[in-house]
Chains A and B, each alone.
Chain A
Amino acid sequence: DAKTTQPTSMDCAEGRAANLPCNHSTISGNEYVYWYRQIHSQGPQYIIHGLKNNETNEMASLIITEDRKSSTLILPHATLRDTAVYYCIVRPRSTGGFKTIFGAGTRLFVKA
């Protein structure tokens, strides 16, 4: 079972910030939070990841709460091309033999 919970779907107006929440209340100390997105009929694409500090890259920002039990992915200026399913997953730092489990994700609709 996925270790994260996300809303099923969200809407966002084009040009506005999209804030996608994720709960991971059972996260372990050695687990990172990763975000991916999947545009229809394509493989998931990596967006960003973090351990406990907030992170920012050219695609998005990741805000992780101090207790690390939840996080928010922020797309600062959503465009129509950001319409996709967004997955939040947690995984340990070590990659030896672990399973990367994806939940159902959040379907983001960016509207003109």
Chain B
Amino acid sequence: SQTIHQWPATLVQPVGSPLSLECTVEGTSNPNLYWYRQAAGRGLQLLFYSVGIGQISSEVPQNLSASRPQDRQFILSSKKLLLSDSGFYLCAWLGTENTEAFFGQGTRLTVV
């Protein structure tokens, strides 16, 4: 069965520090992968999506970047975090047609 792993669950980082959040999927190949961010009490904002290795589409100009070094690995990064980068980050994947999206459990990032 397909599973998605996202870590860490919580993270507190100082302003100006780097960030690396990792997401990996199992039980599927060539998935579409997504990074979302959710501010407190708000909906999900699509940040990046990827249809394959090295293919990244950015939805929102921001202080973040994404990479897909392997088929089932999706990484969210920042060189210097801002206070506004705080939020709940979710990774998701979508497999073959007509299937639902599977979400990781999320990373709650607090930039202090």
Contacts and interface: CB of A to CB of B under 8 A. Distances in A.
Nearest to B100: A46
A32 B100 CA distance: 10
Interface residues of B, number: 29
A109 interface: no
B41 to A, nearest CB: 9
A94 to B, nearest CB: 6
Contacts of B102: 46
Interface in B85-112: 88, 90, 92, 94-106, 108
A19 to B, nearest CB: 21
Interface in B1-38: 6, 32, 34, 36
Interface of B: 6, 32, 34, 36, 42-44, 46, 49, 51, 57, 59, 88, 90, 92, 94-106, 108
